[in-house]
Structure 1
Amino acid sequence: MTGARSSGPALAVVGATGAVGTVLLQMLSQRADVWGDIRLVASARSAGRTLAVRAEKTEVLALTEDAFDGLGPGDVAVFLTPAEVSVRWAPVVTARGVVVVDQSAAFREDPEVPLVVPEVNGHAVRTRPRGIVATPDCVTAGMIAALGALHAEYSLSELALSSYQAASAAGRAGSEVLRRQLSLVAGTSLGEQPGDVRRAVGEDTGPFPAPLALNVVPWSGELREDGWSSHELAVRQETRRILDLPELPVAVTCVQVPVVTGHSLTVRARFENEVAAPHARQVLDAAPGVVLVDDPAAGEFPTPADAAGTDPAWVGRVRVSLDDRHALEFFVCADNLRKGAALNATQIAELIAGEFA
């Protein structure tokens, strides 16, 4: 445990030893310190480990009711856990008066749980009938600040996008299997003939349905009706909720790519108002949480290698559709562990802490 609690609210980080939890703990040392007691909570197998938080050694507690003793109204618990864990434990914590910020898919479609990205709809944090605030999927979180700024200016009417998702979205298992696969195919001519990569990788596909090294996999999630994946439908629904556009036409294709960290998206957004590319660039350049990198003539455009380890969404390749002056096309990259998950949860927790300051 940490030392004596300060006057700030307490923060419990549930799932502190996972990939997103590791990033969130780093952020706590980099951002303004608004917290008193910080508790680290994880599964029983991680209990007893010590991790550095704000230059202090903090013991990881097992996820039991005892881990939340002494917490109450004004305190916050961030859940970085699978949905089934959040469903089981979030109500236990909110029963104490603690506000839960949940990063899983457990509550994203619950009408009594606000789905929040602070740069777009931070005001929604204040209305939480169940004492829970949900964060969107890392794909949605990576693009929504840019899209929200454009919507505020031009009024979004239709959206089509493709995601190019990093292996780390599947946690450490995703990153590790990609690294293993890359080591198996390094220095070979694999990928030139059908079946080359599959033979080299064998059964070691980890959380992905096909080899990721030297490959792209046009699938993420579980199969749903008419060939859509659960992940594609989730991005569609989350975008509608965050922008408060429940009837917005949205088409999504999710693709896994051999990148360790950093999701990318191609976006075609159609608006009610006509769009001019120079003005759209000004809107994006001024948008909170967005960095505009858009000079193709100089070879300047965002890539996931640029976004990795950074907080903003990087946007470039901004251009008006050749066939429709109401449509804008752009490319966006964001670190899926930071912007897509840990940062969003941290920002929400800080907004809630500010209510009790």
Structure 2
Amino acid sequence: MSQQLTLAIVGATTSVGQSVLELLEERDLPIGRVVALGSADEAGETVRAMGRNLDVEDVAHFDWAEAQLALFLCSAQESLRWADAAAEQGCIVLDTSGAFISDDEVPLVYMGANPDALGDFRQRNLIALACGVTSQLLAVLRPLHAEVGVARANVAGYLAVAGAGAEGVSELAGQTAALLNARPVEPACFPAQIAFNVLGQCGSMLDNGYSSEEWRLLQESQKILGSDVAINPTLARVPVFYGDALALHLELLQPLDAEQIRAILRAAPGVAVFEEEEGVPSPVVDANGRDEVLVARVRQDVSHPLGADLWLVADNVRSGVAQGALQAIEVLLRDYL
């Protein structure tokens, strides 16, 4: 399309927001104006977008009729407060918060699996985008499921503090400095000290014993792959600033050896397979700034005839959320607007 549109970004000052703005610089999209939105406390801050500095505006005072597209990179609470108002004024909203995952009128999209679902935005002018951990998992699960079928995925996740937002990054940095100087720390963003520690909880705890991030991963994965694929996640928060890692145990419907799995994943979009001689990738050293999900340690499970084990790492900010959001905007502009 030739028309230059306005894109509003709620959460432009976040790590994901910064990554989205960087990716916008790399793409030739028909976006003539970017509006950076945030809370009243963030209003007046400056972000860099499309070659110039932008002042962050208070989302509470923004006229949604000025924008044709809005990307929500904020909490579920903020999305629930503003997304419907934006959509009702004709703005197409892409939301990353998980606020609408249970709403059947809002399509859930992972660009590596169901980009055609973007066209269903017309029901409410709303699109829910899969979270970073779901995107990382499905980049590997979907091609294997399409090839032989996946009966069950047991997922042990080691998630960076950036998944909890700027507050999480700040808390890890502050606690690390304090403890190295023999000063006490008080947790605020996390339920316990995160520096030099591992927390067996990501998000709030639910009545069913799952954490909110585990439950979101389960719901999103099954909504996209189908409820016949069993998803069993346990997610831990680790003292790493950026980059998520998943230890994945699969039970397939048909046997595949390790080389067959590697061959399938080498051909999968958004996946980079580390060969044995390349070693084992880590989130910080290898995944930082990369768009792909990195896969290594592919092996058959000696305890299960149809089992396979894999190690996955990804840049949870760039690859996990920002890349998928920009791909969705690109397809919307090309095919639907």
Supply the AA of the counterpart residue of 1:15. Answer: G
Residue aligning to 1:119: 112
Supply the AA of the counterpart residue of 2:279. Answer: E
2:6–2:66 contact (8 Å) kept in structure 1: no
Q: CA deviation at 1:339?
A: 1.6
State which of 6, 20, 25 in structure 2 corresponds to 1:10.
6
1:137 aligns with 2:137: no
Residue aligning to 2:152: 158
Residue aligning to 2:322: 342
- 1:220-240 per-residue CA deviation (whole Å, 9 max, x = no partner) reads 122223432222122111110
Question: Aligned partners of 1:176 and 1:65: how far apart in 2?
Answer: 28
Q: How many residues align?
A: 334
Taking structure 2 as the reference length, the TM-score comes to: 0.93
1:34–1:350 contact (8 Å) kept in structure 2: no
Which has the larger Rg?
Answer: 1
Alignment gaps of 5+ in structure 1: 1-5, 188-199
Question: Aligned partners of 1:343 and 1:57: how far apart in 2?
Answer: 22
The alignment yields a C-alpha RMSD, in angstroms, of 1.9
Supply the AA of the counterpart residue of 2:156. Answer: S
1:261 aligns with 2:242: yes
Counterparts of 1:27-66 in structure 2, within 5 Å, are 27-64=23-60, 66=62
Taking structure 1 as the reference length, the TM-score comes to: 0.88
Residue aligning to 1:169: 163
Change (3 A) 1:93 1:226: closer
Question: Aligned partners of 2:333 and 2:184: how far apart in 1?
Answer: 49
Supply the AA of the counterpart residue of 2:256. Answer: V
Question: Aligned partners of 2:310 and 2:323: how far apart in 1?
Answer: 23
Question: Aligned partners of 1:52 and 1:325: how far apart in 2?
Answer: 53
Residue aligning to 1:223: 205
SS of corresponding position for 2:108: coil
Question: Aligned partners of 2:55 and 2:167: how far apart in 1?
Answer: 24
1:307–1:334 contact (8 Å) kept in structure 2: yes
Residue aligning to 2:222: 240
1:76–1:353 contact (8 Å) kept in structure 2: no
- 1:279-328 per-residue CA deviation (whole Å, 9 max, x = no partner) reads 11011111111111131xx3612211111222111111111111323222
Q: CA deviation at 1:65?
A: 5.4
SS of corresponding position for 2:66: coil
Pick which of 204-213 and 118-127 moved more.
Answer: 204-213
2:178–2:185 contact (8 Å) kept in structure 1: no
Alignment gaps of 5+ in structure 2: none
SS of corresponding position for 2:103: coil
1:103 aligns with 2:96: yes
Question: Aligned partners of 2:138 and 2:38: how far apart in 1?
Answer: 30
